[in-house]
Amino acid sequence: MIKKVLIFLGIISGTQAMGISQSSIHGFTIQKLNSNDLLDFSAYKGKKILIVNVASKCGFTYQYKGLEELYQTYKSSLVVIGVPCNQFLNQEPRNEEKIAEFCAINYGVTFPITTKIKVKGKDQHPIYSWLTKKALNGKSDYNISWNFNKFLIDEEGRIIDFFGSKVKPKDEKIIQHLR
């Protein structure tokens, strides 16, 4: 009974609302883009996950094309998740409806995209707190330096590696983990 109460209050490890340490990303949920529905990371157990903070007015925006191609090539074993963010020189100023429209029209994006969030700073979303802090993810500390930073997650929900913006989606550094 006490454990159930502690879980409800967000005190036991594994509760994403409090950003407390979890053994995997599979305990998290996030709102989908332009929707009230939640994207539940536990639905991707057994698949690798590539999480990318995205923006539509960035010099790296062309990577949407490579992300979609990567997703289509490996979708039986990989899900790509785009996470819009407007923290880097106002490069994602669009509202969620316009983001969805932009991605579909310009790049034919079919992979999941989340609601627009903060990936760093005091209002950092709990998923990015987990991704960027060794104390929470158990692997390493990471700095989100710009749009199109990428986290590759294994089938059990643990971080495999982190890739900066200059690493393209179909770079061998990423592909080697997908074969």
Q: What are phi and psi of 32, to 5 degrees?
A: -75, 155
81 SS3 class = strand
Q: Select from 85, 77, 65 the least CA-distant residue to 132.
A: 85
The secondary structure of 45-85 as a DSSP string is TTSEEEEEEE-SSSTTTTHHHHHHHHHHHHTTTEEEEEEE-
Amino acid identity for residue 42 in this structure:
S
Q: Which two tokens stand for residue 160?
A: 């495999």
58 is known as an active-site residue: yes
Amino acid identity for residue 72 in this structure:
Q
Q: Which two tokens stand for residue 76?
A: 């039986």
Q: What are phi and psi of 80, to 5 degrees?
A: -100, 135
Would you state the torsion angle of the CA atoms of residues 116, 120, 124, 127, taken in this order, to the nearest 10 degrees? 80
Choose the catalytic residue: 58, 78, 103, 127.
Answer: 58
Q: Provide the annotated active-site residues.
A: 58
